[in-house]
Amino acid sequence: MTDVSTDSPRSASKGPDMVNMQVWRGDASGGDFKLYEVEYREGEVVLDVIHRIQATQANDLGVRWNCKAGKCGSCSAEINGLPRLMCMTRMSTFEPGQDITVAPMKTFPVMKDLVTDVSFNYEMAKRIPAFQPKPKDADGKRRMAQRDVERSQEFRKCIECFMCQNVCHVIRDHDENKVHFAGPRFLMRIAELEMHPHDTGDRIPLAREELGLPYCNITKCCTEVCPEHIHITDNALIPMKERVVDRYFDPITRLGRAIRRKR
């Protein structure tokens, strides 16, 4: 096969450009941004450039990744202060000449460089009771209409990048809330099970009393950062709040319902 790096008329590709990357280096005891002057080529994403730093200037630079295609949710970081997947952030989206900062997610403790301790999320996942199916049809099959499964399917697009968890103000600056607030990803998991057409469980009291649904004041920051474009707030959190209202007559969250009706 021909070599793809050769110049092509249509894309008018040129030689590599240089960029200044400010990459956070350090561990639990502290750290700081370190400047790397590095090449980048047409079409590259931030993860490519991080990998180039790793291969040529800092072999021990800690970074997580797997799929390089926005499918596994491993490579979350804060790029110029915004939570993004490094593998889906193209270098061409930045102003040429501008320094680019790459920092670990803030809400989780740093392990090393861009790698954070996300065990909080795995602990929360354990607290949600699994799917509890109703009996199957007589022929051993389940019948569910496509439109009925679509609601939960939207939430099952979640790649567990934990960026929604990272931006939610309830825990971002309040470590103490982490014991009683599951965060948008896991409140959404409860919504997913609640909306599953064949689930018989009831997780509303759990969401309200133990996993902190009332703390959410529907700022939608989670929705804004979700790389899967899941409508976390509108489709999962607000309907859950409505279910709580219906059950407990909670006057504050009625507001949420009023807001939603207006849309």
Nearer CB in complex with ligand FES: 78/194: 78
Instruction: Output the smallest distance, CB 125 to ligand SF4, in A.
Output: 11
For the chain, the distance separating the N- and C-terminal CA atoms, rounded to the nearest angstrom, is 54
What single DSSP character describes residue 237? I
**86, 79 contact by CB (below 8 A):** yes
The answer to whether 53 contacts ligand SF4 (rule: CB under 6 A) is: no
CA 58 to the chain's CA centroid: 27
- The interface partner of residue 77, options being ligand SF4, other proteins, ligand FES, none and the CB cut-off 5 to 8 Å by kind, is none
The answer to whether 226 contacts ligand FES (rule: CB under 6 A) is: no
Interacting span for ligand FES (CB under 6 A) from 23-31, 65-73, 150-158, 218-226: 65-73
Instruction: Output the smallest distance, CB 23 to other proteins, in A.
Output: 14
Instruction: Output the smallest distance, CB 160 to ligand SF4, in A.
Output: 5
Binding residue for ligand FES, selected from 55, 67, 252, 259, defined by CB under 6 A:
67
Dihedral of CA 225/229/232/234: which sign? positive
Separation CA 243–CA 248 (nearest Å): 9
**208, 202 contact by CB (below 8 A):** no
The answer to whether 193 contacts ligand SF4 (rule: CB under 6 A) is: no
- The interface partner of residue 206, options being other proteins, ligand SF4, ligand FES, none and the CB cut-off 5 to 8 Å by kind, is none
Separation CA 9–CA 15 (nearest Å): 14
**197, 243 contact by CB (below 8 A):** no
Binding residue for other proteins, selected from 20, 35, 43, 254, defined by CB under 8 A:
43
Interacting span for ligand FES (CB under 6 A) from 5-13, 73-81, 146-154, 254-262: 73-81
Query: For the residues of 100-122, what is the DSSP string, one character each?
Result: EEEE--SSS-EEETTEE--HHHH
Binding residue for other proteins, selected from 112, 172, 220, 231, defined by CB under 8 A:
112
